[in-house]
Amino acid sequence: MSYDDSRAMSIAGVLAGAAVGAAAGAVAVWVMDRVDWFAYDHVPEEAKQQTLAARPKGIDPAHVMVEKMAGTTGTGTSQPHLAGIAAHYLLGVAPGAVYGALHEKMPGLSMGRGSMFGLGLFLMQDEGLSGRPQEYPWQAHARGLVAHVVYGVVTDTVVRMFKKALR
């Protein structure tokens, strides 16, 4: 096999991994949402109100991103909005694609069967894209942490299942 052949196979493998990871990320977002919504339904009303008050404009980070983009065109969005939901899924599909592409090339990425990956996303997305972290109740941080760890584990599980089936 020539260098060019092995490089083409490597690129194809990375692209296939990214496609698998993107699908895994979509599944993981869906599962993560169910875990988060279940937890949200079981926190005290005061914590719910504090969470809404802490959110910029009272909306989730994906809708905030869409709101900022819509603001440049002079239009506004409300929650839930299709563009906000699409942005929410993109925030899970894109990292899933990276995870799938690098899963075998960077073994440390799947540390804890994806739980550390989920932790990293929690820190970047929930703690980084939201309002000021100190304004949220502890329950919001706990919900976000658990939901993102679930996201990481589900992403890892689906990537492993796909890759095993494709071998």
Domains of the chain, by residue range, sit at 3-166
What percentage of the chain carries pLDDT values higher than 70? 88
**Higher pLDDT pick, 57 / 39:** 39
**Mean predicted confidence (pLDDT) in 142-156:** 96
For residue 73, give the DSSP letter: T
**Higher pLDDT pick, 118 / 80:** 118
CA dihedral 106, 112, 114, 118 (to 10 degrees): -110
Residue 150 tokens, joined: 């679930």
98-116 burial code (b ≥16 CB/10 A, e <16): bbbbbbeeeeebbeeebbb
pTM for this prediction: 0.85
Give the C-alpha separation, 87 to 95, whole Å.
13
For residue 64, give the DSSP letter: H
**Higher pLDDT pick, 81 / 41:** 41
> 140: how many CB neighbours lie within 10 A of its CB?
25
Task: Quickly state the pLDDT bin for 59 (edges 50, 70, 90).
Answer: confident
